[in-house]
Chain A
Amino acid sequence: MECLHEIKLLEYIDAELTSVETAMVRDHLIVCNACNETYQHYLKLESQLNLPLELEPPSIIERSVMEKLFPVLPTYSSVFALIAAGFLLLVTGIYIYFDFANNSIVQALQLTAGNTSNFLGSVISFISTVFSGVYTVFKILDRFINVIFQVNIGAEIIGFTVFVIFSLIGYSVFRFALKKLRSE
């Protein structure tokens, strides 16, 4: 008996044959061991192909696509906080650089407060007290470092460093508060 062409077997597996052809192939497979073996091999191959080996895609794909499609823009809160912190830093820097040594701003504020008796005078007086207090604290701190470590840093540098740290803290707090407000 003549063996089946392999394409016939594949068409049989794919159920692509007519009912008559299907019956012929089925009958042939019962009596022909060689064709039956080939058929079994194709069946095994088919079952493996129907279970595609999945490959794990690198996680960078999803992240990179999202970043390219939706670039992260700075939020309003961070921009506001950055401007506020920058402004504070600038004012502090100017004050410390130009006026820290002779303390003229504090003196001017105290003079203005002395000549003003209303509410504004009290506010100015309060500000001058704060400035004066801060100035004194930095001077003490400078003296303390000088005594302990025998290093002369200078009240200006200490003052500036402290203000930078405070600005950064202020920036974070401000940003957090704005975020909280926006989410509410």
Chain B
Amino acid sequence: MILDEDQVLIKKILEGNRSSFEELMKKYNKKIFGFIFRMVREEETAVELTQDFFIKIYNVMAKYNFEYKFSTWAYRICYNLVIDHVRKNQTQVDSLDDESVSQKQMMASENFESEDGFSHLAREEMNQYVWKAVDCIPLKYRELILLRYLQGLKYDEIADFTGLPVGTVKNRIFKAKEILKTEIEKDGMFT
């Protein structure tokens, strides 16, 4: 069996090599933290959950099946961890997803508008704007956008992760994009 880069590291970790675990953590830290932070929208909680994730990964590593990609296995653990947290703290998340929280207000507070207006925003600023908008959409759409674009999963993999039918996953992602497009159009970002 040919092992990929991650699997070689896992093999070393299982043999007791600590520095391989450090290497693995360095590789996934950004993606995992980014995903968790965008899900919970609170840095302190994101830091705690990211730590919990890596500790959990280390503790259950012996159960990893080398037939599957490590990243998919790890993302599933990460997703379950975050969803458990979100469910336990539903009130807090609901309040953040409340329609009354204006996306424009949140974006304005981040001072995204340049002197020339949105139409002349640099590519980087546009990117920031779009991802800030993602942060503001309701969780049921946001989680799917994050799984699709942050973790690079396919529709069927997302369906498998979330337990939703593939059709629902597609529809929600389309709906999320529709919301995002409408918001961006309203702000004249596409012109």
Contacts and interface: CB of A to CB of B under 8 A. Distances in A.
Interface stretch (B74-82, B91-99, B112-120, B176-184): B176-184
B132 to A, nearest CB: 8
Contacts of A55: 30, 33-34, 37-38
Interface size class of B (residues with CB under 8 A): 35 or more
Contacts of A42: 177, 181
B30 A57 contact: yes
Interface stretch (A46-54, A80-88, A105-113, A152-160): A46-54
Contact of B130 (A38, A49, A70): A49
Interface in A27-75: 38, 40-42, 44-46, 48-58, 60-62, 64-66, 68-70
Contacts of A38: 181
B107 interface: no
Interface stretch (B1-9, B47-55, B157-165): B47-55
**B contact face: mostly helix, strand, loop, or mixed:** helix
B145 A66 contact: no
A48 B130 contact: yes
A68 B55 contact: yes
A10 interface: yes
Nearest to B130: A48
Contacts of A51: 127
Interface of A: 6-7, 10, 16, 38, 40-42, 44-46, 48-58, 60-62, 64-66, 68-70
Pick the 4 closest A-B CB pairs, nearest first.
Answer: A57-B33, A53-B131, A48-B130, A65-B54
